[in-house]
Structure formats: structure tokens, C-alpha cells
Amino acid sequence: MTEAGTPTRPIDKEALRQKYLLERDKRLRADGNDQYLELKGEHAHYLEDPYTPVQPRAPKTDHVTFAFIGAGFAGLATAARLKEAGVQGVRLIEKGGDVGGTWYWNRYPGAQCDTASMIYMPLLEETGHMPTEKYAHAPEILAHCQRIARHYDLYDDALFHTQVESLTWDEAGSRWQIRTQRGDAFTAQFIGLGTGPLHIPKLPGIPGIDTFQGHSFHTSRWDYAYTGGDPLGAPMDKLRDKRVAIIGTGATSVQCIPHLARSCQQLFVCQRTPSSVDVRANAPIDPEWFARIATPGWQQRWLENFTENQAGGSPTVDLVQDGWTDLNRRIRAQIGRLPPGERTVATMLAAYEDADFQKMEEIRARVDELVDDADTAAKLKAWYRQLCKRPCFHDAYLQSFNEPGVTLLDTDGQGVERITPRGVVVAGVEYPVDCIIYASGFEVGTAFQRRAGFDLTGEGGRTLSEHWANGMRTLHGMHVHGFPNAFFVQPTQGANLISNVPHNLTDGARSIAAVVSHALAGGHARVEVTPEAEEAWVELLRTAPGRMTSSPDCTPGYYNNEGRDPGPAARLNVGYPAGPAAYFKYIAAWRASGRYEGLAFSS
Ligand code: NDP
């Protein structure tokens, strides 16, 4: 490759298309999401918090201005913006033992952000923090979450290890009644929901999983008491004499396998589908460079620049320069080579496919360069388009398979055959192990209520699940008719920027702070999206091209509902038709106008 998107050798496109379909077909299965086990009953112990003991406290029965469910990036950013706007009485409610959300739970060795810290970590400018690395490691991100909570005094009224059980709109009082598993029964004028998309771990429904007699845990509840070591990278010395199997090779595994490979006596990596693993190129951030660029407004400029580079804009500079922006740069270059008169949807999609083929060929060639054993290398190659599954970036993962104690157990798309009391069975061979680590991901395609652990009961006793029975309906992904004073903080039906999820959340926080401040300043007890505005937004979304990231042609995974038709309701799980960069501009203007079009404020 000489220049982005300029092929150096010819690609047999038809052969690649056929290979991709063949590999997808191998993996399609009738049970889709049902192949996974829900962690309840005898499996509920996999959810226990290994990090923080539960502190006894008295139930809350008071009233607050704003209660936010979830103390991850969404809750922290929203609470911060509310505090900046002078709103008092902001309470975070969190099922974990501290703030941080995904970064509270995911402490597996090697965890780090996959999107550059400069744009991934919220409120850097406000808190004055300089990330230490281009891709910060998990302890730094968790510490940053704690920094935000301290900076904005969010700890004072936060409720940890607290799971909301019901949220009910009190019509007479214009407020929400909140009940939790800790016996809390308090009210809030406003509520925010930032429960996150990837917070309920799931286990693979492998036959015999409950018969295993050794130790096991899920990666999002890393058992350092068993492995030794710590999230900061201390060696996992207790694994020195252990045989360990890890099941799954998604983004989590890619990060933790290099550490396990160094620590275990024997490591068996059970692979169903290889990840695409591109260059990471992490590097420390130079304080002198940072001081030069961190002029007022720097983080917003970086956010906007990344989004433009990522999401189809035509920026003149790429500040972040990473694997996410690379594919788009290539697509733009490829399209740029089309004569202007020939730029149709079909030729542009073909240009996108060409850029993708080239990129994936390079990623596959990288496997050959880095993995010594040719057979292992062949099995580690990903045969699908780059955005069919979550792209991964790592500079030590592939080399792990050169370690003498590491064995790749490739299952040719079928998954682990069986788990026995002694270990895992792949292709009829039993591999005895002391420990099984489940890197099997999180629930995505299941209902919101199942993942959140509660439904909302809005005006007239109508539940959110009833309102969304035929698909999600919102204005901006945030406001839902019949659920006054409630704000959803998540990407869908808004910007839907998947490559930098925090940007969606921090921008949503601005909208909430603006709307709530307006309501409070005007003495309005309630604010609600009108049915017309909700309907118009949903109608607009129907014209969206759909998710570019994945399609039924893709190999199964959570990006495409495990390859199953998700039904017509999922048609609305899209973003603003003109794309993320256009959405952020639109919503900034919506806020700045001060009219909050589509919302009705009343006393
Ligand atoms: P994933 O859902 O991506 O991966 C689960 C893995 O388990 C897949 O490799 C899957 O195979 C495999 N699997 C499932 N069932 C079986 C089975 N029966 N036998 C063998 N293998 C099986 O989970 P992750 O935790 O890796 O990642 C989830 C998401 O979390 C990421 O996509 C990303 O969005 C986020 N994440 C972000 C990070 C960051 O920003 N730094 C780091 C880590 C995760 P198959 O592919 O065939 O389904």
C-alpha cells in the first residue's frame, strides 16, 4: 500500500465475496441470541461484584431534583453539565460499587480504550487532565471517572450497589417515584437513564457448562484473587502452574490474551470467529505537545474533527489519526478517484467495498507477518468486512500465539463443542483445564427492560415496553412521549456514532442541562416531547439508510443480531439520516435557539 486506498496487488473480489459468504454461513444458527445463557438463578453468582464490598445504608425516602440511573460516562457527564448549570439535588444511582460504569466492571489485564483518549475520555478540558497515553489503560479511565465525580461533587448523594426496580410517573406530583432493591422509595422531578449498551455479561450456552468442576469467571468480573496480579499490570503469578481456557476472541480477549499468555502454564484460546486485529501504535502523550494544543475548546475541536473524519465528512486534517479514521480516509480516496459524473450510489458502494477489501487484505497479511506457525496464522484471519464486527487494534495479541504455552483451539465457526467436569472439548478432543475464563461478551439484542432490570411506567400507567412494542420511538433518541421529565442518554436515534460512543453521551448531557435549566428557570414542573414531534422524528429516521456498520451479509455477531432478521422494530435502531457530524450540528443549533422545538413545557 503506497497511499490510502491505492492497491498494490490485484484482489480477486468475487473470490473474496464467496469466501465471506461461506464463512458467514458456517456460523449462522437458528437460536441467534438464545444461544447465550442469562445470568440468573444458578448463574447469578457470575454477576457478583469482586471489587467493592457492599456498604450498609438506610433506604432513601426523600426528593431530589434529578436522579440519574447509571454512573458511567452518561451519568457523570449529565450530572456534571447539570451542576455547571447550577442545578442542585443531582443523585447518581449505580449498581456497581463506584462510578465508572463499564470501566468500573472491566478491570481485566490489558484493558484500555480502543478510541483515542483525547476524544474518548469525557470532560478532560473541564477537569484539567492530560491522558498519559494515546489509548489510556483502564485504571486511568476509572480514576478519571472518579476525578469527574469529585470535581463536580457527585459522590455526596450517589447511591452505589443500588439497582432500580421501578420508575413510576406520579401525575399529580409531576415527579418520578423510584424504588430500588435497597428499599429506597424516593422521588425526583427529572430522571436520566444511562444504563449503557454492554453491561449485562452473558455466558455461551455450551452443553455441559454447569458440570465444570474447576474455577471460572467472566472477564467483566476479573478474579484477581484467583489469578494474582492487578489491573495495573502486576504479574498474574498465581497462574504460573495453571492450565487456563479462555472462550471468545472479541475485543476483550484481544486485550487480555497477551497478559494471560505470559502468565499461564498453558493457555487454550477457544476461537469461534477471529477478530480483525489492526495496528495499535499506542504511545505516551508528550506534556509539551499537549500544552501546545490544549488551548480553550480543544476537546470539542478534537471531537468534531474525529466525527468528521469518521462519519463521511470531508475534513482537511485528521487530528486523531487512527484505525477508525483510516478506513474512512481510504473510502474517501477511493471515491475521489471516480470521475465526478460517475458518482452514483452503486459506484460509491463499490468504492467502499474496494477500500474494505484492501484494508482487510492488509490485516490478514499482518497475521502472516506476526504469527510463526502458518496453520495458526491461517486460522487467525478474519474473513468479513471490517465493520461487520467490532474492529480490534493491538500490537501484541497476534504474537501471543508464538508463546510455547499458548494453543489456539479454533472451532471453525462452531464454538466449543462441550464443557466437561475437567475442561473444554473442541473437535472431539478434551483439554483439561483448571480455569475457564468467559470472554463471551454482553447482552445486546435483548429487550431494554431485561437489560435495565426495570420498565418505566409513564403517563396513564403506560409502560415503556408498551410504547416501544413496535420499535423505539423518541425525539433525538432522548425524549419519549408519555414519559415526561425523563431523558435517555444513548446513541440510537441520535448521532449513533459507534466509533466514539462517549461523544454521543457528552453531547446528550448538554441537551439535558439546557432543557432542565430552561424548565427550572421558567417554573415549569414538566417537559415532554409532543406526539407530533416524536412522530415526525421517527418518520425522518425511516428515511435513514440503515446501519452502515453491519448487514445480514456479515458474519453473525451482536452488530447484526447474531445474523438473524431482528424484525421490523429494529428498522428504527438507526441514527440521524445525514450522519453523526450533521446530527451534532443540528442539535447544537436546536439547543442554541432556546426554543427547544418539539418539547412542551408546562406547569
Ligand atoms: P464479544 O461479544 O465481542 O465477543 C464474544 C466472543 O465470544 C466472540 O469471539 C464470540 O464468537 C465468542 N463466543 C461466543 N459463544 C461462543 C462459543 N460457544 N464458543 C466459542 N466462542 C464463543 O465480547 P467482548 O467482551 O470481547 O466485547 C464486547 C464489546 O465490548 C466490544 O465489541 C466492544 O464494543 C466493547 N469493548 C470495548 C473495548 C474498548 O473500547 N477498549 C475493549 C473490549 C470490549 P463469535 O464472534 O463467533 O460470536
State the closest ligand 1 atom to the C-alpha of 205, by its place in the atom list counted from 1. 18
Query: 180, 138 in Cβ contact below 8 A?
Result: no
Distance CA 228, CA 554 (A): 39
Tell the residue number behind the cell numbers 432542565, with chain if given: 516
- Evaluate: CB of 204 within 6 angstroms of ligand 1: yes
Position 5 confidence tier, pLDDT thresholds 50, 70, 90: very low
**Cβ atoms within 10 Å of 267's Cβ, excluding its own:** 25
In the reported structure, the alpha carbon of residue 431 is separated from the centroid of ligand 1 by a whole-number distance in angstroms of 22
pLDDT tens digits along 242-269 = 999 999 999 999 999 999 999 999 999 9
* pLDDT at position 2: 39
Contact 236, 259 (CB under 8 A): yes
Distance of CA 389 to the CA centre of its chain: 12
pLDDT reported for residue 17? 94
Separation of CA 530 and ligand 1 centre (Å): 39
**54 or 545, higher pLDDT:** 54
If you measure from the C-alpha of residue 439 to the centroid of ligand 1, how many angstroms do you get, rounded to a whole number?
A: 6
What distance in angstroms lies between residue 207's CA and the mean position of ligand 1's atoms? 19
Name which residue sits closest to atom 21 of ligand 1, judged by CA.
248
Q: What percent of the chain has pLDDT over 90?
A: 78
Please list, residue by residue across 370-404, b when 16 or more beta carbons sit within 10 angstroms of its beta carbon and e when fewer do. bbeeeebbebbbbbbbbbbbbbbbbebbbebbeee
pLDDT at residue number 587: 98
Question: Above 60 in pLDDT, residue 7?
Answer: no
Residue having the nearest C-alpha atom to atom 10 of ligand 1: 248
> Ligand 1 in contact with 331 (CB < 6 A)?
no
User: What is the number of alpha carbons within 13 Å of residue 9 lying toward its C-beta?
Assistant: 4
Closest ligand 1 atom to 557 CA: 48
- Quote the Cα angle for 131-137-142, to 5°: 80
Asked if pLDDT for residue 192 goes beyond 50, the answer is yes
Which residues, 6 or more positions from 203, have their beta carbon under 8 angstroms from its beta carbon?
Answer: 36, 37, 39, 43, 46, 209, 218, 438, 440
- Contact assessment for residue 598 and residue 479, using Cβ atoms and an 8 Å cutoff: yes
Q: What pLDDT was estimated at residue 397?
A: 98
Q: Give pLDDT, residue 348.
A: 84
- Cα–Cα distance, 462 to 88 (Å, whole number): 30
The 8-class DSSP code of residue 99 comes to S
Choose one of 35, 219, 272, 444 to mutate for the ligand 1 pocket test, by most ligand atoms within 8 angstroms of C-beta: 272
Q: Report the residue among 440, 444, 451 best suited for mutation to probe ligand 1: largest number of ligand atoms under 8 A from its CB.
A: 440
| C-beta 557 within 6 A of ligand 1 | yes
Question: Which of 64-78, 260-274, 569-583 shows the lowest mean pLDDT across its residues?
Answer: 569-583
Confidence of residue 325 (pLDDT cuts 50, 70, 90): confident
Q: pLDDT class for 312, splitting at 50, 70, 90?
A: low
Nearest CA to ligand 1 atom 33: 251
- Ligand 1 contact, 252 CB (< 6 A): yes
**CB 28 near ligand 1, within 6 Å:** no
Q: Kindly state if the Cβ of 248 falls inside 6 Å of ligand 1.
A: yes
Please state the domain extents for the chain: 63-199+446-602
Residues 6+ apart with CB under 8 A from 280: 135, 393, 394, 395
Q: Is the pLDDT confidence value at 288 over 70?
A: yes
Interval 80-96: pLDDT, tens: 999 999 999 999 999 99
Q: By C-alpha distance, which of 55, 102, 6 is closest to 362?
A: 6
Per-residue pLDDT at 191: 98
Which residue among 23, 112, 199, 249 has the greatest number of ligand 1 atoms within 8 angstroms of its CB, and so is best to mutate?
A: 249
The residues pairing with 527 across neighbouring beta strands, listed in sequence order, are 601
Evaluate: CB of 280 within 6 angstroms of ligand 1: no
Ligand 1 within 6 A of 444 CB? no
Residues 523-565 have pLDDT tens digits of 999 999 999 999 999 999 988 765 544 577 888 888 888 887 7
Angle between helices 138-151 and 73-84 (to 10 degrees): 30
Average pLDDT over residues 434-461: 91
- Ligand 1 centroid – CA 33 distance (Å): 13
Q: How far is the CA of 507 from the centre of ligand 1 (A)?
A: 27
Q: How far is CA 517 from the centre of its chain?
A: 29
Dihedral sign computed on CA atoms, order 472, 477, 483, 486: positive
Q: Is ligand 1 within 6 A of the CB of residue 114?
A: yes
Q: Whose CA is nearest to atom 25 of ligand 1?
A: 441
Q: Are 389 and 276 within 8 A, CB to CB?
A: yes
In order, the DSSP letters of 529-583 are E-HHHHHHHHHHHHTS---SS--TTSPSSGGGGGGS---GGGGG----TT-HHHH
* Cα 163 to averaged position of ligand 1 atoms, centre (Å): 25
CA of 280 to the centre of ligand 1 (A): 18
Q: Which residues contact 577 (CB under 8 A, 6 or more apart)?
A: 540, 541, 543, 544, 545
Ligand 1 centre and the CA of 592: distance in Å? 40
Q: Which atom of ligand 1 is nearest to the CA of 120?
A: 40
Confidence class of residue 393 from pLDDT cuts 50, 70 and 90? Answer: very high
Q: Is 558 in the pocket of ligand 1 (CB under 6 A)?
A: yes
Instruction: Give distance in angstroms: CA of 252 to centre of ligand 1.
Output: 6
Ordered DSSP codes for 250-304: SHHHHHHHHHHHHH-SEEEEEESSPPPEE-----BPPHHHHHHH--TTHHHHHHH
Class of domain 63-199+446-602: alpha beta
Query: pLDDT at position 547, please?
Result: 52
Residues facing residue 247 across a β-bridge? 270, 438
Ligand 1 pocket check for 251: Cβ under 6 Å: yes
pLDDT of residue 3: 43
